[in-house]
Amino acid sequence: MEMAVLHLIPSFLATKNGNPVRILSIGCSQGEEPYSIALMAHNAGIPPTLIDIQGVGLSNTAIQQGKKGIFSRSALSTVPELVLQEHFTPLSSEQFQLEPAIRQQVRLSSMCLFDDDHKDIQGSFDIIFCRNLLPLLVTSSRSKLINKINELLSCNGYLFLDANSGFMASHCFQPSKVKGNWLFKSVKEDKNKTSSCFDHPSQNAMTNGLAVKYTSGITIQRAETALMGGHLDQAITLFNDTLACHPAYGAQALLGKARALLNLGKYKAALKVSELALDVNSEAHSLDKSRQDVLKSLIKNLVKKNKNP
């Protein structure tokens, strides 16, 4: 979100001629993500008239609760105390309400983008967030949602995915690593497209043709070597790079990432990633039997440990 607010929005505003930057958060639950973007934009001094923020979620109950802007203390655990004091009103010792000025900057809607009619979602968006949702969907729904995102994202726009989802959308979106963040751009052509200060032609060119086949093998090998050598943070970064760019190695990268997280003692995250690796493998059959057995054993041991840091 910092990348979007501090770098992408100013870049878009320079070419918008006074029109707002349009942002969409998909799978926004009670609006935590779009509200956070609105808060960050406010603190960055970006006028509310220059950004249009929308959030869509699957649960109407969650969306209606989100419109009230009421959150528990635990939900706000990562919010800095100064921001909490300045922008939230305490309703009790455990509940806080986001101020109306910020809530009014965000439009929340309940809809299923891969099934519903989308009358409330019109035009194209400059920035789309879809994090921690694609891995939860069955293959057919995932494909529909990816196609819908591709339809909604402007030709110059950017898509943010979680670290485990990039390879799932590789047929529609081209990855580019900018300031340490993986961003995704639509591969559809725009005859009127202008270059952006975030475009990296030489880097993007490496995601095409034989370069992909070559670099994907090198990246996964480097990740496995780092894991075996105990360089766990480096291994996770390289596995994430693989997951962003190289779909053929998706299941293998997820398994390696799960092992690295397990060695770091991050049991809950390791369990989540390892279960996703099994789901991906069931679709692509990309893990041999020995790797599947290792993965199932890993999940069994994680459940047995019953730890949740």
Q: Which has the minimum average pLDDT: 151-165, 241-255, 269-283?
A: 269-283
- 193-198: Cβ within 8 A, 24+ apart: 193/155, 193/156, 194/15, 194/156, 196/11, 196/156, 197/11, 198/7, 198/8, 198/11, 198/158
DSSP-assigned states of every residue in 142-204: HHHHHHHHHHHEEEEEEEEE-TTTGGGGTTTEEEEEETTEEEEEE-S--TT----TT--HHHH
What is the model's pLDDT at position 303?
A: 67
Structure tokens at 13: 């505003």
What's this model's pTM, rounded to 2 decimal places? 0.79
What is the model's pLDDT at position 99?
A: 96
Closest CA to 246 of 298, 156, 182: 182
Query: Strands 173-178 and 181-186: what pairing?
Result: antiparallel
Give the total residue count for the chain: 309
What is the model's pLDDT at position 248?
A: 81
Give the percent of the chain with pLDDT over 90: 44
Q: How confident is the model at residue 97 (pLDDT cuts 50, 70, 90)?
A: very high
Higher pLDDT, 225 or 297: 225
Closest CA to 111 of 122, 102, 127, 101: 122
- Listing from the earlier edge strand, what are the strands of the sheet with 70-72? 70-72, 95-98, 88-90
Q: Give the C-alpha distances (Å, rounded to integers) separating 139 from 129, 134, 161, 284.
A: 20, 9, 17, 11
**At residue 155, does pLDDT exceed 70?**
yes
Q: For 104-123, how does the pLDDT look when each residue is reduced to its tens digit (9 = 90+)?
A: 999 999 887 876 566 667 78
**Strand locations in the chain (E):** 21-26, 51-57, 70-72, 88-90, 95-98, 106-110, 125-130, 153-161, 173-178, 181-186
> Please, what is the average pLDDT of the chain?
83
- Whether residue 309 contacts residue 268, with contact meaning beta carbons closer than 8 Å, is answered with yes
User: Per-residue pLDDT averaged across 13-27, rounded?
Assistant: 93
**At residue 129, does pLDDT exceed 60?**
yes
In angstroms, rounded to a whole number, what is the distance separating the alpha carbons of residues 273 and 295?
10
Higher pLDDT, 4 or 284: 4
- Whether residue 55 contacts residue 106, with contact meaning beta carbons closer than 8 Å, is answered with yes
User: Per-residue pLDDT averaged across 17-40, rounded?
Assistant: 94
User: Per-residue pLDDT averaged across 21-34, rounded?
Assistant: 95
In angstroms, rounded to a whole number, what is the distance separating the alpha carbons of residues 217 and 66?
44
**At residue 19, does pLDDT exceed 60?**
yes
In angstroms, rounded to a whole number, what is the distance separating the alpha carbons of residues 9 and 4?
6
Q: Give the C-alpha distances (Å, rounded to integers) separating 175 from 59, 179, 223.
A: 30, 13, 19
How many other CB atoms sit within 10 Å of the CB of residue 179?
10
**At residue 68, does pLDDT exceed 90?**
yes
User: Per-residue pLDDT averaged across 178-207, rounded?
Assistant: 58
Q: How confident is the model at residue 35 (pLDDT cuts 50, 70, 90)?
A: very high
What is the model's pLDDT at position 286?
A: 67
In angstroms, rounded to a whole number, what is the distance separating the alpha carbons of residues 267 and 186?
35
Higher pLDDT, 205 or 75: 75
In the chain, the domains with their CATH numbers are 2-204 (3.40.50.150), 209-305 (1.25.40.10)
What is the model's pLDDT at position 271?
A: 84
Q: What is the widest separation between alpha-carbon atoms in the chain?
A: 59
